[in-house]
Structure 1
Amino acid sequence: MPGKKRGKQTVVFHNPPVITSSASIVGPDEGKGPFGSYFDQVLPDYMFGEKTWEKAESKMLREAVKLAINKANLKEDDIEVILAGDLLNQTISANYAARDLSLPLLGLYGACSTMAESLLLGAMLVDGGFFSKVVAATSSHHHTAERQFRFPTEQGVQPTVTTQWTATAAGAVVLQSEGSGPRITAATVGKVVDMGQKDMSNMGSAMAPAAVDTIKAHLDDLKRSPDYYDLILTGDLGKIGKAIAEELFVVKGIVPKPFYNDCGVLLYDENQDVNAGGSGCGCAACMLCGPLLKKMQEGSLKKLLLVATGALMSPTSMFQGESIPCVAHAVAVEMN
C-alpha cells in the first residue's frame, strides 16, 4: 500500500474517518446572524448560568462535547480521547471541560486554527488504528478573549475598523472509524508564516498569507485545482483578511472564486456591529459543526476544504514588541 504523505505537507487517509455527529453552541450575537437556526443552542446571554465568562466558555465546550456524543448514540465512556483547545492561557476551557467529563484529553493550542488542528490529528489517530472513537472540539468567548488579549469590555475601549469580533461559540464532532456521514479524506499541516505585522487589532491581514500558503500547498501536494471543492472556506480572516487573501490568490496563481469564502464574514449579518467580521476558535468550529455539516448531510455541499487560521502570539509577546506569527491547517471533508 502506498504511503499516506503527499508532497511536502499533506496526508491522505486510507480509511477516512467518519464525522458521525456534530454539535454547536453559540452566543446571542452569533444566534442573530444568518445561520442562527443551524446551531443546536443559542445562549440568551454570555454567562450561561455561571459566575464568570471563563467558566461560561468551559461550560459551552463541555456541553457541546456532551451533545455531540449523545447525537452519535454513544455514551461518554465510549469516547477514547478528546482533542480540544481554546484561546485562553493554558487552554483552561478545554482542561476543565475534560476534567468534568472524566475523559482523556490531548490539549491543543493553534489559536483560531485549533478546530482544524484537532480534526487533522483526530483523523490521523483514527485512520492509524490507534483509536476508533474520538472527539475534536474547541471554543472561544468574546469577553474572555477581549480580557486576555485586548482590554476588558467593561472599559468601553473603542475598536478600530480593522478589529474583529471574537465569536462566542463552541463546536464538537465525533470521529469514528465506521459509520455514515461526511469523511475526512485529506489534511494539510500549515507552516508558520510571519510577514512582520504587529497590530493586534488587524488580525485578518496577519493571518491571510498563512491561509493562502496552506491552500496552495494543499492543491499542489494533491495536484488539484480549486474547483475540485464546492467550497474553500478560511476560518476567520474577516472582511479585510478575506480581501487580502483574494489578492494573494492571484499572485500565487490560484483563483478559487466563486468557490471561496470566510467563516468570519459568513457568521454575522452585515447589519451587526462586528467591525471587520468574526474571529476566534469558535468561529470556524460553529460554522463547521452547524451549517456546513448540515448542508453536507442535506446534499447541497459535497466537498469542503476547511482552512482554519490562527495568530500565534500572546499578551507577553505583544508587550515585547514581537510580530505576529500565523498558521493555517486545511482539512478536506467529503461526502461519498
Structure 2
Amino acid sequence: MSNIVDDIKREFAKSENSLIKIILINTAVFLVLLLIKIIFTLSQSAQIYNWLLDQIQLSADRSAFLYKPWTLFTYFFAHEDIFHILFNMLFFYWFGKLVDEYLGAKRVVALYILGGIAGGLVFIVLYNVLPFFQAHLVDSGMLGASAAAFSVAVGASTLLPNYTFNLIFLGPIRIKFIAIFYIILSLAQTIGPNAGGNLAHLGGALIGYIFIKLLQNGTDLGKPIYAVMNGWSNLFRKKPAMQVTYREKQVYRSKSVYSSTTVTGSVETPDQTEIDNILDKISKSGYESLTKEEKQKLFRASQQK
C-alpha cells in the first residue's frame, strides 16, 4: 500500500505530468464515491449518499445551479459507473498524449477544463430553452468527464487531423475520422436516455475545435487557467531556507558570462534551418519520430506565418 502511495506522490511531484494527474484525480474521486456508497447502502442510509452526490453533480435546473455553482467544475471529475470512467480516461489519455507532446501539459489542462465547463453550460442552456428537454428539467443531473475528454479529442484532431491510431480489427484510422464518428454518434443520441450527456459532448467538442483554431492564430484561451495553475503551484511551493554567506571580496563579471547560463522553460521560435531539418526528418522517418521539443518548435513556427 505504501508503494502505491509513494508512486502517486511521485507522479504529482512531476511538473509536466498533468495528463496523469487528471486521470489520478478522477480515479480517486470514483473510488471514494464507491466506498461511500457501499458504506451508506449497507448501513441503510442511502439518502446520505444521494445528498452527497447531489452536491457534486450538475443539475440543468437553473435555481439548483445558482444554489450550487461549484458543480459546473466538480461534475467532470466524478463518475459512478466503472465503464464510464474507464472509457472516458482511455479516450482522454489517447488524445491527450498527442496534445501534451505537441503543445505541452498546460494545454491539456486548459482543453480539459474549458471543455468540461462548455459542456456543462450547453447542457444547462439547452435543457432550459428547448421544449423537448424542459419536461425532464427537475430530474436532470450529470456526472462524468465525457465533455472534457471530447474537448481534448477534438482539439487533438483539429491540431493533427491526419495522425493515425491503429485500432483493433480496423487497422490505422486517421483521428479526424474517429472524432467525427463520435460527434455524429453523440448528435444522434441527444434524443435518447442520456440526452444531457450527449449534449455536453457536443459542447466540449466545439470548444476543443475553437481552442486550437484560435491558438493557431495566436490567441490562447487557456491563459486564465494557466494563471490559476501558477498561483496554486506557488502557494504550495516550499520556500528555500535562508542562508547567510560571508564574502570578502565582490567580483563583477560582464553580462556575457551570465547570458550563456540563462535557462528558459519555453521553446524558442526556431530559425529556418531548424525548420528545414525538422521537415527533412519527417520526410525520412515520419512525424512520430520527432521529439516533443521538435513538435513544439514546428507548431511555434506555424504561428509565425
- Which is higher, the Rg of structure 1 or of structure 2? 2
Shorter-chain TM-score bucket reads: under 0.3
Higher strand share: 1
Higher helix share: 2
State the TM-score, normalized to the length of structure 1. 0.22
State the TM-score, normalized to the length of structure 2. 0.24
